[in-house]
Amino acid sequence: MQIVVVLSETAFDNALMAARRVGTEELAASGALRAPFTAALKGKAADVWDRIERALRAAHDRGVQIARPLIDEASQALDDVIAAAGSLGGEVKAFIAEKLRRFVDALIDGALARLKPAIRVGTVELKIAKVAIAQKITLSGDLKASLEELCALSADGEISVDAEYPV
């Protein structure tokens, strides 16, 4: 059965918090980044993330059209930081991409937490056996396209899932 799960405000806020917690030191220690950022680069990357977060929040609160200028601004800021970072440009991109992945993971977790583990049909209780995300969520190497997709998802405020409740 296909179910549309409405994202709660809490799920959205938790997804932003999960993304905020991603730090360069953690990623460098795990091998996802070649080296920790300098203080200056860390500050610039944090500024880019703040812009991305503003775009996500605007899309969630007021819709994608309102967020469009913020998406463009965040994308341009990211391009500028990557260009200025020189050999660490790829590391900045990887850092922001990981924050976006953590945002999506936490958002999906929040949506799935809202599913009922069992439903009652007449006198029969059916327990959930299988769940799959029914809509496509794409994070590509093009971070602007990924941000646009996540802003659209945030604006829609819902995720479609297929849930199987066998008899």
Q: So where are the chain's domains?
A: 2-164
CA separation for the pair 109, 107 (Å, rounded): 5
pLDDT tens digits, one per residue of 52-108: 999 999 999 999 999 999 999 999 999 999 999 988 888 999 999 999 999 999 999
Per-residue pLDDT at 137 exceeds 80 = no
Per-residue pLDDT at 18 exceeds 80 = yes
Q: 73-80: long-range contacts (C-beta < 8 A, 24 or more apart)?
A: 74/48, 74/147, 75/143, 75/144, 75/147, 77/47, 77/48, 77/51, 78/48, 78/52, 78/143, 78/144
Per-residue pLDDT at 115 exceeds 90 = no
